[in-house]
Structures are given as structure tokens and as C-alpha cells.
Amino acid sequence: MVEDSLGVDIFSDVTPVVFVLSDARGETAASVVEAAADQFSDKVVTIKQLGNVKSVDMVRTYLDSNITADVPLAVFHTIVDRNLRRDIRRELDSRGIPSIDLLGPAITVISTLTGEEPHYEVGRRSDNEAQVG
């Protein structure tokens, strides 16, 4: 049994929640969270998805209505807009919510590799597919 500093079981019968936020559909982030959760027992986390995020106020409202006291939570997000991503990160940090930016660092690395500036267009798709082998 894992206990906190007060001797309370911090992994009791509560199922943690992972919120998936995206300024598009959210399928990419949800797939990553599902792949990570698959490495654990069934129903180890509850995954809640919010797509088409347009503002930090939208995220605040969503979190305020979906957070339950004493339920551990985290946020995974794929937000293309740099300013919105920054504002969401600040909001999550101010609430003490752990979060993972799944898209920002990848965009930065590819920009560094190619010398190209990203388009920063939500939902943009091109012919970039992984090759097997």
C-alpha cells in the first residue's frame, strides 16, 4: 500500500482522471493516452476528452465542471496555437494540475531539423506518414 505523509492510502478505490484537450478533434492525444494506459491494468484511469478548444476560458469552465475533489488528475494536450498552449499551461500550473504538452515540443524539434517555420494551423494534414522498416 502506498501512503502519503499522513499515512493515508493515496491509491484507494478512486480512479484517476486524465483529461485530453485539443484545439482539433483530440484523437491524437487520446490515442497517446490510451496507448500509455494500455500498459497498466484495465480501467486504471478514466479518460475524458475535450476537442475544439478555442480559449483558456473554455478549459477553465470544462475543468470546473469536471473536476471532483480528491480524484487525482492530469491533462494531456495537443494545442497548436502557441499563445493558447502557453495560457492553458499557466492555468494548469496555477491549479497544480500535472500536464503533458504532446505537440509543442515535437513541432519545435521538427522546425529545428528542417529550418522551416510551422504553419500553426489547427487540424492541418499533409502527406507526412511513418514508413515501416
Is 6 domain-assigned?
no
The one-digit pLDDT tens for each residue of the chain (133 residues) are 445 555 555 556 889 999 999 999 989 899 999 999 999 999 899 999 999 999 999 999 999 999 999 999 999 999 999 999 999 999 999 999 999 999 999 999 999 999 999 988 887 777 777 778 8
Is 7 domain-assigned?
no
The CATH number of residue 64's host domain is 3.40.50
Is 126 domain-assigned?
no
Is 61 domain-assigned?
yes
For residue 103, the enclosing domain spans 17-114
Is 107 domain-assigned?
yes
Is 43 domain-assigned?
yes
Cα 18 to Cα 77: distance, rounded to the nearest angstrom: 10
How many structural domains compose the chain? 1
For residue 27, give the H/E element and its range.
helix 27-37
